[in-house]
Amino acid sequence: MSLFFLLSLPLLLSSPPPLNPYPYDTSYRIDCGGQTNFTNNFNDSWLSDRFFTGGSPSLVAEPHLFLQQQEKTIRFFPISFGKKNCYILNVPNGRYHFRMFFVYDNYDGKLHSPSFDVSVEGTLVFSWRSPWKEDFSRTGAYSDLFAFVKDGEADICFYSIATDPPVIGSLEIIQVDPLSYDSSTTGDHLILINYGRLTCGSGSLGSGLTNDTDLFGRGWQTDVDFLKGNGVSIKAIATRNNIRATNQEHNYFPMHLYQTAVTVVGDGALEYELPVDAKMDYLVWFHFAEIDSSITAAGQRVIDVHINGRNVSRIDIFKQVGSFTAFNWHYVVKNLNSTTLSVKLVPVAGSPLISGLENYALVPRDLATVTEQVTAMRALKESLRVPDRMGWNGDPCAPPTWDAWEGVTCHPNKDKSALVVSQIDLGSQGLKGYISEQIGLLSNLVSLNLSYNSLHGTIPSGLGQKYLTRLDLSNNFLSGSIPDSLISSSLQLVLLNDNEFEGQVPYELYSIGVHGGAIDTCSKEK
């Protein structure tokens, strides 16, 4: 494959602003591990590290290798902070672009890149496994996705594999148009994970790479490493002309993306190969603009689009939009059965041409915990003074593949629309607080064990849910009376012994023992 530029012209340094003011103003750029706010060379404002649930800051081993300030510091999460830690930000509901920078660079001197998982909005999105590729480990890698926030909180969580400490270098959260990337068709239940976002015929551009404005905060990687030669002479072309229909709703694609393109000299097809994971659906987004002024009519450049050998569409850019106007088209690949996505542009008339290419895995959102039960569990975390080592951060039940909160068991509700808490087992954990009244919101609780701690206060009147069958509050310092709410036909085991209760035990509780259950209400000896 030979690659050369047809035009060697100075390109625009920045895209013009959109015709109408960009209506989405929520954005956070967090320098994980960083101690000060700053503005970088591209006029992006970065915040010092905040919104985290735990962990410690550190510095990469070779900061001189990194050009951008936010890439030189990290936050890592030792196992002493629990297996699950998060960044949690209060944001308006809507769609967001999440972009993360991961790097190891032997910051801890152990020569062991960590294994960990990453979730966004309770859905597993990235998995890092030791050993990392050398270039990723030493100089880092960006990963990004689009997801909807529906509960007023953007949650990005990290889960330790074995005892490895997860690590992150920077975090960006940018609000985007909720109708972007055809969400009106695909819905708001899918997360779009970037598996390749390419600009054709130019160097990399966009957020953190050049001064080119991308209102979504997208970074566009040069396509050179993904082009297959196949003996075809490939040329890059460019223009100084403005491109119409750019920086517009709903996708706000930057003009610079369409001011360059690749085509071929003579006969031949353009072919890209993108690495993917098998058994997933992918959204492939194509970007075209007819920037060759010699094309003046429909039919002069016609392209067949082949994806993994299948002819899926025929494109005539000029016929669609004329010249110097952005045109984009997308296609969904269902249940891809290979680890390579092949995109081939086959000429029907003239030579093939393309300005950009994106590929997103369509990942269904995992179930989340019922909102009121999240409220209850967070209240319990505070009232029971649950230690950091137990990892009670983010959603109590999600992702369901994680053992999210130590001592907590969850399952789907009846209609499989959400997760609910079914068991809490915190016996002998050194807890020194009290039982929050919010525990009454855990309407699906089957078993509660808070025995052998140092809990004070009374038993909440809301405790005694209809599904509760096992209750062990023994060996604490609970006081007051035993509430009538515990009179439940579902209870099969009630252990309240060795506390400091006063008054009479409700007579009906003793029927548990009569019907084959077990009950012990003996108080501490004074």
Instruction: Please tell me whether residues 246 and 356 are part of one structural domain.
Output: yes
| Domain region containing 223 | 193-364
Q: Which helix (H) or strand (E) holds 384?
A: helix 371-384
Instruction: Please tell me whether residues 241 and 344 are part of one structural domain.
Output: yes
CA distance 329 to 345: 13
Q: Is residue 183 a part of any domain in this protein?
A: no
Instruction: Please tell me whether residues 55 and 166 are part of one structural domain.
Output: yes
pLDDT, averaged across the chain: 92
**DSSP helix, strand, coil percent of the chain (3-state; round to 5):** 15, 40, 50
Q: What DSSP state is assigned to residue 161?
A: S
Instruction: Please tell me whether residues 350 and 468 are part of one structural domain.
Output: no
Report pLDDT for 13: 40
Report pLDDT for 523: 66
Judge if the upstream peptide bond of residue 399 is cis by omega within 30 degrees of 0.
yes
Where a domain ends, among 364, 385, 415?
A: 364
Report pLDDT for 7: 32
Total structural domains in the chain? 3
CA distance 249 to 381: 43
Q: Is residue 8 a part of any domain in this protein?
A: no
Q: Is residue 254 a part of any domain in this protein?
A: yes
Q: Is residue 470 a part of any domain in this protein?
A: yes
Report pLDDT for 526: 53
- Please choose, from the candidates 183, 261, 174, the residue with its C-alpha nearest in 3D space to the C-alpha of residue 214: 174
Instruction: Please tell me whether residues 314 and 275 are part of one structural domain.
Output: yes
Q: Is residue 515 a part of any domain in this protein?
A: yes
- Please choose, from the candidates 58, 62, 40, 41, the residue with its C-alpha nearest in 3D space to the C-alpha of residue 49: 58
Q: Is residue 319 a part of any domain in this protein?
A: yes
Q: What DSSP state is assigned to residue 373?
A: H
Instruction: Give Cα 356 to chain centroid, integer Å.
Output: 24
Q: What is the pTM of this model?
A: 0.92
Instruction: Please tell me whether residues 197 and 327 are part of one structural domain.
Output: yes
Report pLDDT for 488: 67
CATH code of the domain containing 58: 2.60.120.430
Q: Which residues in the chain land under pLDDT 70?
A: 1-20, 488-489, 511-519, 521-526
Where a domain ends, among 339, 364, 389?
A: 364
Q: What are the pLDDT digits (tens) for 440-453?
A: 999 999 999 999 99
Instruction: Please tell me whether residues 223 and 289 are part of one structural domain.
Output: yes
Instruction: Please tell me whether residues 319 and 401 are part of one structural domain.
Output: no
Instruction: Please tell me whether residues 329 and 387 are part of one structural domain.
Output: no
CATH code of the domain containing 445: 3.80.10.10
The b-or-e profile of 334-366 (16+ CB within 10 A means b, else e) is eebeeeebebbbbbeebbbbbbbbbbbbbbebb
Q: Is the dihedral of CA 440, 441, 442, 444 positive or negative?
A: positive
Instruction: Please tell me whether residues 344 and 445 are part of one structural domain.
Output: no
Q: Is residue 13 a part of any domain in this protein?
A: no
Where a domain ends, among 364, 394, 415?
A: 364
The structure tokens listed for 269 are 């097809």
Q: Is residue 160 a part of any domain in this protein?
A: yes
Instruction: Please tell me whether residues 259 and 172 are part of one structural domain.
Output: no
Per DSSP, the chain holds a count of helices (H) and strands (E) of 6, 36
Instruction: Please tell me whether residues 412 and 324 are part of one structural domain.
Output: no
